[in-house]
A and B are shown apart, each in its own frame.
Chain A
Amino acid sequence: MTRGSQGRLWLGCICLALLGSACQRRLPAGEVQVLSSLRVRQYPQTQARGIVLLVHGLGTNGKVWNLPGLGGLAGELWRAGFLVYSMEDNLPYASLTQRARDLGNLLTQLSARHPGRPLFGIGHDLGGTALYLVAAHKLGPLDGIVGIGAPLSNVSGTQALAHLARVLGQLGSLPVDWAYLRHQRPEGFPKSVDFVKSLLSVGLPSRRLAVFFRQVSSTLSLAAIEDLTAGTGILADRSLVQALARQAPLPILALMAPADGLAPPWQCDPAVLGLRRDNIERVYFTRANGHENEYNHLDLLLHPAAEEDVFPVVIEWLEKI
């Protein structure tokens, strides 16, 4: 093959790649509305096969589902034909109970707006926990829940999480975000261990981490951290799991990562906590399960490999349900 024909081949490949990316449907910017006192972004869809509400977690905002310039689960769901709503409200909420009540009202309104369509909730971190609470206490209509690194119990948190609670407790109501917390070091942690990274992500590429700290990281709420550690009792022992078990068998997909320092599997896995049903599926994202990355809390949504490992699992499950 001559150099000229090699060059033409390369040019052809590049053109094909560009054409492929141009043909991929781009997620529209969406429209922000206030529904049930919550700010919600709607990504319009004609002929939607189902409605999905995305609920972000503690210390993050709605951009966690669609990282500026880098994409995310919202786009994948929209391309798969779902009408996607994403919570944009990033104010520190008073408590999990309050957030669950707000979500229940929002889901009731969405159900009325799209009658006859299946309505799913997908929550990351405490966003997933709030959805579990909605289901457990029948606060709103749901046809299925996907909990991504979403704790069902606060049994035996990690030391990094306990340190986070201590720091927030000392600061009281002062606004704090993850970027601030990066400068904190818990007692006994070696210098090589960054405690915020160990909680959230060890392997996230630096560009994505920078986007996270700049655009996704939002104010942390002491009340929510108390829910996660000892305080309010909502997550104490197995009370939430037991409440879920008493309800009609709602399909659940629990996704988690063994290396997750903020919501480890022993807090997120329904089976470990005694809730085992045929319509509850659990997936652990780890290289030992054949996945590309050793996932941590944020990686489940923000790592580039999540597009191959995590998102298809969610979409396949929704399609199956």
Chain B
Amino acid sequence: MRRLGLKHGLFLLCLLAVTPHCAHLLYLPQERASEILTTMTEEGWQLALHHFPATGSGPRRQFPVLICHGIMSNKYNWDLTDQLSLPAHLARQGFDTWAVELRASGHSQKPGPYNQLHWDYSLDDYVQYDLPALIDFVRGHSGRKQVHWVGHSMGGLVLFGYLQRVRQDTIRSAIAVASPSYLLDHNHNLNFAMDMARSLDGVFKPVPTGTVSKMGSFLAGSPLLADMRIIWNYDNISPSTARLAAANAVENISPRVVAQMVSPLAGGPILSADGQYNYTAGMERIQVPFFFVAGMLDQLAPPAVVMSAYQSVASTDKRLAVLGRANGYRRDYGHVDLCLGETAPGEVFPLLADWIIDHD
């Protein structure tokens, strides 16, 4: 009996170990980038840039575009299928486009047994090391002094930080899609998840969000729990996209980043890891042309929060769009379906492209 239990236990362990890899193989995304280049941060992290050179017979645009994923994600956040690919869309519009990956995401370097890197980086490291390395690399490659930036969720938040703490003259124009400048306690399920994250602070290193998501990707096609609607609006995302995204677009992450995102009390500001710098208060320093996009049903960055960021920045050239039926869109958008929703290629991508074209 004991031997049987041990056997079963070992079998279960093996199964758990291979499940994420099975999910990855079962839901295999295709690659569209023409090349993947890398650059190195000042403190030695290798970062990946997926290059989508301008295509099509239309005019070639002046400034390159960098597209950045959100928290716990990678370039599949914006480039999952032929249809659901903002980089490919912008490349067809004549832009030299780069889907970039922050440290420990996607093709960028991850901490492991064969390097000296650790799962202890913070949001501040993205701001002060990753963004300067990525932006300077593309500026050097294209020979242009400025770039356009499109960030989803934390991909916009890290740009807020870069503009506040590093420099502003390298950014031609910016788009923050569903990027919060503070967190709102409006969703019971999200509040519960944040309380859980706080109580588990330091238990996991890294936080195994990617592993869990891969293991559960078989089930991601339908909302088994209400909590799953925090991520996207299931009315606007196909089951196959949901499974593909769960298997490929979610990454493990440093607990310090999670702590920084969940530590603010209700309505409180987002602070640096040492608590000395206030990213929320610093929004008023931002002066570059800025386009803020929110989803009507977004639970992570609800319109009220995005609106606050829009109102805070000092930019004279700024715009806000809330994507929902009441504003003439076909769907009420959630957090991730602003990038991967069924209607995103027809409604969101042209909206973003038009802003960038107008500011090129």
Across-interface contacts of A276 in B (CB, < 8 A): 266-267
B189 A266 Cβ-Cβ under 8 A: no
Closest residue of chain B to A198 (Cβ to Cβ) is B325
Q: How many A-B residue pairs have CB under 8 A?
A: 103
A284 B186 Cβ-Cβ under 8 A: yes
Count residues of chain B with CB under 8 A from any CB of chain A.
33
Min Cβ gap A263→B in Å is 10
Min Cβ gap A261→B in Å is 3
CB of A199 within 8 Å of the partner chain: yes
CB of A269 within 8 Å of the partner chain: yes
Q: How far is the CA of A189 from the CA of B326 in the complex (A)?
A: 9
Contact of A261 with B325 at beta-carbon distance under 8 Å, contacts A286-B297, A288-B297, A289-B226 already known:
yes
CB of A42 within 8 Å of the partner chain: no
CB of B187 within 8 Å of the partner chain: yes
Q: Which of B267, B303, B329, B332 contacts A266 (CB 8 A)?
A: B303
Min Cβ gap A17→B in Å is 29
Across-interface contacts of B334 in A (CB, < 8 A): 288
Across-interface contacts of B308 in A (CB, < 8 A): 272
B328 A186 Cβ-Cβ under 8 A: yes
Annotate A94-119 by CB proximity to B: 1 below 8 A, 0 otherwise: 00000000000000000000000000
Across-interface contacts of B324 in A (CB, < 8 A): 158, 198, 259, 261
A290 B303 Cβ-Cβ under 8 A: no
Q: How far is the CA of A300 from the CA of B185 in the complex (A)?
A: 21
A199 B266 Cβ-Cβ under 8 A: no
B328 A258 Cβ-Cβ under 8 A: no
CB of B320 within 8 Å of the partner chain: yes
**B296-344 with Cβ < 8 A to chain A:** 296-297, 299, 302-304, 307-308, 320, 322, 324-330, 332, 334
A271 B328 Cβ-Cβ under 8 A: no
Closest residue of chain B to A158 (Cβ to Cβ) is B326
Judged by DSSP, the binding face of A is loop
CB of B3 within 8 Å of the partner chain: no
Q: How far is the CA of A266 from the CA of B324 in the complex (A)?
A: 14
CB of B229 within 8 Å of the partner chain: yes
Across-interface contacts of A265 in B (CB, < 8 A): 186, 302-304
Count residues of chain A with CB under 8 A from any CB of chain B.
38
Q: How far is the CA of A294 from the CA of B332 in the complex (A)?
A: 10
B322 A158 Cβ-Cβ under 8 A: yes
CB of A202 within 8 Å of the partner chain: yes
Closest residue of chain A to B326 (Cβ to Cβ) is A261
Contact of A259 with B296 at beta-carbon distance under 8 Å, contacts A265-B186, A288-B189, A288-B226 already known:
yes
Q: How far is the CA of A158 from the CA of B299 in the complex (A)?
A: 18
Min Cβ gap B285→A in Å is 22
Across-interface contacts of A186 in B (CB, < 8 A): 328
Min Cβ gap A118→B in Å is 27
Annotate A172-190 by CB proximity to B: 1 below 8 A, 0 otherwise: 0000000000000010111
Min Cβ gap A31→B in Å is 39
CB of B80 within 8 Å of the partner chain: no
Closest residue of chain A to B185 (Cβ to Cβ) is A271
Between A and B, 12 residue pairs with Cβ closer than 8 Å are A155-B307, A159-B326, A160-B328, A190-B330, A192-B330, A193-B328, A265-B186, A269-B186, A272-B184, A288-B227, A290-B189, A291-B226
Give 8 closest A-B pairs by Cβ, nearest first. Answer: A261-B326, A288-B229, A158-B326, A198-B325, A290-B226, A266-B304, A272-B304, A189-B328
Instruction: Enumerate chain A interface residues (CB-CB to B < 8 A).
Output: 155-156, 158-161, 186, 188-190, 192-193, 195, 197-199, 202, 258-262, 264-266, 269, 271-272, 276, 282, 284, 286-291, 294
Q: A286-B297, A287-B223 are in contact. List 5 more A-B contacts (CB 8 A).
A: A258-B299, A259-B325, A259-B332, A260-B326, A272-B308
